[in-house]
């Protein structure tokens, strides 16, 4: 039967452009976890410290120096105070990223999903970029976004607050820090995920990397071996962040040493990802 009898029409180009492949991967990876109620509860719990800090800032207006004595750095609205706040969020960073990121590559390797991904016009950079964007979004949810909210809140209620600091400089510093730290952390976590096929094993490795190294750093600090603190994984990000926030070092390690350590971790993660995730050609 001729094609015109079946209502055939010539193809006409559409003005709509296809979305980037990495965005499709990221969108699905972000929306699926948000459908789980318990994950939303965890995100709300991660915002509790921000609420506590906001209340402390408000009480400072009423109680003055007494709030500084009771709340310590929680009442601070200078750059160092916000860096300390993000440092205090490390537990939620550890837990949330373990839940969201552990299976991003491991599940694809277990279910032979890489063959499905790379049978399409998808490159390695787009695949890793999409997976990294998922981790970075949830990292921002517990670090960067609360800082934005706190900056606006502090500017609205604190009479000594200046818009240049709280509405421009501090958000810019926090954005730059979270972009750099989030990209590095996401690559390291994806590297762990690419080494296994079971999410539970990746979570164990992630726990050893984060909690184990933090424990080693704390023990070393107690023994006076400050140089060993360079093993503290998340601590190195906060210590290197002191360069960006113009604050004293968070650890007894030179911030430039911490920055060099982070670059080595990131380079190692990229090397692992390039070896473990290889585009394949599917032949039918």
Task: Compute the average pLDDT of residues 261-273.
Answer: 93
% the chain with pLDDT above 90? 39
72 has pLDDT over 70:
no
Helix (H, G, I), strand (E, B) or coil at 37: helix
- Residue 72 CB neighbours (<10 A): 12
Task: Compute the average pLDDT of residues 138-158.
Answer: 92
In a domain, 282, yes or no: no
In a domain, 82, yes or no: yes
Q: How confident is the model at residue 171 (pLDDT cuts 50, 70, 90)?
A: very high
In a domain, 13, yes or no: no
In a domain, 11, yes or no: no
Residue 41 has what pLDDT? 94
Q: How far apart are the first and last CA of the chain?
A: 29
Highest mean pLDDT among 66-70, 108-112, 190-194: 190-194
Residue 9 has what pLDDT? 60
In a domain, 161, yes or no: yes
In a domain, 2, yes or no: no
Query: Which residues constitute the domain of residue 72?
Result: 20-276
187 has pLDDT over 90:
yes
Residue 130 has what pLDDT? 92
The label of the residue with tokens 């995920």 reads 193
pTM of structure? 0.87
In a domain, 146, yes or no: yes
Task: Compute the average pLDDT of residues 192-213.
Answer: 89
In a domain, 61, yes or no: yes
Please say whether the dihedral angle defined by the alpha carbons of residues 122, 125, 129 and 132, taken in this order, is positive or negative: positive
The total number of structural domains that make up the chain = 1
Burial letters for 22-35: b for 16+ Cβ neighbours within 10 Å, e otherwise?
beebbeebbeebee
């Amino acid at each position: 039967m001729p094609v015109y009898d079946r209502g055939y029409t010539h193809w006409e180009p559409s003005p709509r452009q296809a979305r980037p492949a990495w965005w499709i991967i990221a969108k699905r990876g972000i929306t699926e976890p948000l459908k789980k109620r318990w994950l939303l509860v965890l995100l709300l719990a991660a915002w509790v410290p921000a609420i506590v800090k906001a209340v402390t800032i408000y009480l400072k207006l009423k109680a003055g120096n007494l709030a500084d004595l009771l709340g310590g750095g929680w009442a601070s609205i200078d750059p160092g105070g916000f860096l300390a706040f993000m440092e205090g969020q490390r537990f939620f960073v550890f837990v949330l990223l373990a839940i969201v990121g552990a299976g991003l590559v491991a599940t694809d390797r277990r279910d032979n999903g890489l063959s499905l991904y790379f049978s399409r016009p998808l490159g390695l950079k787009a695949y890793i970029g999409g997976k990294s964007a998922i981790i970075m979004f949830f990292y921002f949810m517990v670090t960067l976004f609360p800082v934005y909210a706190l900056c606006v809140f502090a500017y609205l209620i604190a009479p000594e607050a200046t818009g240049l600091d709280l509405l421009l400089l501090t958000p810019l510093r926090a954005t730059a820090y979270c972009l750099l730290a989030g990209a590095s952390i996401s690559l390291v976590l994806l590297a762990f995920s690419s080494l296994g096929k079971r999410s539970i094993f990746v979570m164990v490795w992630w726990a050893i990397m984060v909690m184990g190294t933090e424990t080693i750093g704390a023990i070393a600090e107690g023994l006076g071996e400050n140089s060993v603190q360079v093993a503290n994984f998340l601590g190195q990000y906060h210590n290197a962040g002191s360069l960006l926030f113009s604050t004293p070092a968070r650890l007894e390690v030179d911030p430039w040493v911490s920055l060099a350590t982070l670059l080595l971790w990131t380079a190692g993660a990229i090397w692992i990802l390039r070896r473990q995730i290889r585009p394949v050609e599917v032949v039918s």
